[in-house]
Chains A and B, each alone.
Chain A
């Protein structure tokens, strides 16, 4: 074998603390290394050209690049190696940036470590074998999980691009959080007026199949050919028959059911359509409150329903959808404000969340748009908004900024003045974060034209005196304590990952951060991709986002899927497990451990039990390989021998010969 080694300076990123020339010189002495050089930027056009020319000039049969993490540039260099006429798997990368120059300061030690890493890579390369990808057909349907504004946008864009779309929504209606909002910042246009038409488009688009009140049960398969099991939860109403007339809601005797859509500010009936613009506009029975389920008798809705749609015997149903790509748009949930006991959250009825306040202001809300405080229905005059409730607070494990609270609070203060002209709003804030287009002007308008009083400081406590609430806090700009007498306190609750988000991530096999937000493939350059091929992200499931950003990501994810589906076939990754049938004893321990169901039991021509890997399903995790007692199943490009050669290069035997 003829190996070429290229040591990258990465400007001063590596060369600053690693003697790259020395590393290149040391590499010349490694077995099979016939050429080595250091280069300023190996990934740049001249850097790649240098590799290609060296391959041709020195008749190299394998290439080692010592540079950065393979995460970003392994594909780059593999393509370069392929252009040079080699198999792209005859390439190894030594990470001397993240693993060396960025983590150590001692130049001599760093240089030694870099030499070791290059040696490991060269040793592995000596045992690498050319691998060939296979091609397979794509199923050009896309699954979108979550029917909020991001999911709706992605669904419409994909459908417009001619794709068949399966949209799965957890609740009975699409619309998500945006459907609950009264107005949107910074234009103060009616939320349901801009979202409503899009929701209707989803319902009417022939390319979109909508499954609401449904959840993802199981995800099998791989990019291009996923098999999805969707659980359609029992609504106890046959939606084929339900016309959404609402007669059942008028007659249902359980009128004190919890109103999820209105955030518990009002009550609803046990059988209900969550809001007038719901898509699909179908009724569902809430079994927790329905008398037929809790007490065993009632059935008024069944008698009254003109289409006989009520079915108390309805069961959850599992359906299968086959798709080629998945867009996850599962959104976020709001921080549980009860964790702030000092604000009286959950204790005093007139301390409410910002989302409850949205419902109070909304014309379709329980008060038909009249702001009435929950305790006595009076119109509040002094309203205090407290910012960063569940944001930027390590004590509740929410150190991140939710991003949109500053803006919606500014909007709510402005709208309050519109609703109640003789009211006064106060905002306790830490910093005002308004970096969007026209955002800061909007906040200024609130302060200058609407007289919103901004007080920089945190609130220490909220306590009742008579029918008022006293908000005591610090004014850090004035350096004094302040007390505000409030009729209503609105807590600007932050965003957290949606309930069940980590579980769904496990099902989808995508990564998520400590807070349950989904990890993008690259924070700057691959913001809507995940590390699982064929699974994309849109909206707040990836991190708190406002409406324009969510919509933008919905479109971006749709574009990614359309690009993926522009080909008829995909290339499979040849880095999969492979069974050496001669060594396999057919114990099928690999079948038991494979998380992807990628191994099947077969018989060879003599009737002996053997295992066989289904290459397109195998994700190359290597679990089977470590389970197999006789190492008959090997992960290609990461075989035992390849890894052992790395270990041996790094760790010469420390035990004397006996």
Chain B
């Protein structure tokens, strides 16, 4: 991500017309970024962009539906904006998009796994594929490719797909990237029994904090979520494996053909449950059956949100 000064200028230019511009700022230490809500010109100074800016800010958009909102997006974030536009959950007239080219963002869980919890991080430097993290007096050097988000490994859309202002030079790397992540192939080698045991273990750890749901840009039901209602009473509030699993399956099913694989659910999960594995498997099914990828074309329609008498790839009459 480059062009911070250019971005600041563009935002300052657009701000008088907008209620708020959402970007990122430095968080409580050098390794953490946090969302920034720019309302006044002086707020712009706190804006940062870079590999720490993992948050998909599009999650805030449906809640600000009637406001004039500016938003800074990476390629993957822009897919969420497109999906929300497709579903008429937000109004394009109210939104100004500042598009970036992205080179990948960090996965703090991966860093924590590699170097442990270091307390206050003083300094973080990214240089030619190496991230140097300074805590106390010690420097820790890690390869960026090993600590970035899984989605960055298979990223086909580094550039914002939809924007009003594009900052920097678009990246033309797009071709030859397989949509399947390496961990999916490993998972698929497991027997059905092993997979069942795997998920049973993972789901037993879920604490039903709903952080995955709250972070998801596509979870727009908010106070009306089926997870917390008695009519209909799909799941109880009891925190047991079956109900946890049911909740996670409902979340995935509701994302069928809509999930843009931004990875916010997994990033938000305090229990580090591999939620993206479920979503990638579902998206693979959608690709196979409907030849559809979510959040690419603002005019497109998610396949499960349309009615067609006979689907091309579902041979209903050949059973």
Contact = CB atoms under 8 A, between A and B. Distances in A.
Interface of A: 506, 514, 580, 583, 585, 587-589, 592-595, 623, 627, 629-632, 634, 639-641, 644, 653, 655-658
Interface stretch (B20-28, B33-41, B51-59, B228-236): B228-236
Nearest to B231: A641
Contact of A655 (B87, B220, B242): B242
Contacts of B87: 587, 589
Contact of A658 (B221, B229, B241, B304): B241
Interface residues of B, number: 30
Nearest to A634: B232
Interface stretch (B162-170, B173-181, B281-289, B305-313): B305-313
A585 B232 contact: no
A640 B221 contact: no
A639 B234 CA distance: 11
A623 B307 CA distance: 9
Q: Which of B232, B241, B242, B254 has the most CB of A within 10 A?
A: B232
A595 B307 contact: yes
Contacts of A629: 220-221, 226, 254
Nearest to A657: B240
Contact of A593 (B231, B245, B305, B317): B305
Contact of A631 (B89, B226, B240, B306): B226
10 contacts: A506-B309, A585-B221, A585-B224, A630-B229, A631-B226, A634-B232, A644-B232, A644-B233, A657-B240, A657-B241
A623 B89 CA distance: 20
B305 A658 contact: no
A627 B87 CA distance: 13
Given A583-B224, A585-B220, A640 B232 contact: yes
Q: Is the interface of A mostly helix, strand, loop or mixed?
A: loop
Contacts of B309: 506, 595
B10 interface: no
B203 to A, nearest CB: 8
Nearest to B308: A595
A121 to B, nearest CB: 19
A651 to B, nearest CB: 11
B94 to A, nearest CB: 15
A583 B224 CA distance: 6
B114 interface: no
B240 A655 contact: yes
B64 to A, nearest CB: 15
B226 A630 contact: yes
Nearest to A641: B232
A592 B224 CA distance: 20
Which 6 A-B residue pairs are closest in the complex by CB-CB distance?
A: A640-B232, A630-B224, A630-B221, A655-B242, A658-B241, A658-B204
A655 B307 contact: no
A627 to B, nearest CB: 7
A594 B232 CA distance: 21
Contacts of B224: 583, 585, 630, 632
A583 B307 CA distance: 23
Q: Which of A506, A588, A589, A595 has the most CB of B within 10 A?
A: A589
A590 to B, nearest CB: 9
B225 interface: yes
Contacts of B240: 655, 657-658
Contacts of A623: 307
Nearest to A609: B88
Given A631-B226, A657-B240, A640 B234 contact: yes
Contacts of B140: none
A585 B222 CA distance: 9
B200 interface: yes
A22 B233 CA distance: 33
B80 to A, nearest CB: 15
A269 B317 CA distance: 42
Contacts of B245: 655
Contacts of A655: 200, 240-242, 245
B306 A592 contact: yes
A644 B234 contact: yes
Q: Which of B88, B200, B240, B241 has the most CB of A within 10 A?
A: B88
Given A629-B221, A640-B232, A655-B245, 13 more contacts: A506-B309, A514-B317, A585-B221, A585-B222, A587-B87, A588-B88, A593-B306, A595-B307, A595-B309, A630-B225, A631-B226, A655-B241, A657-B240
Interface string B273-305: 000000000000000000000000000010011
Q: Which of B229, B234, B241, B307 has the most CB of A within 10 A?
A: B307
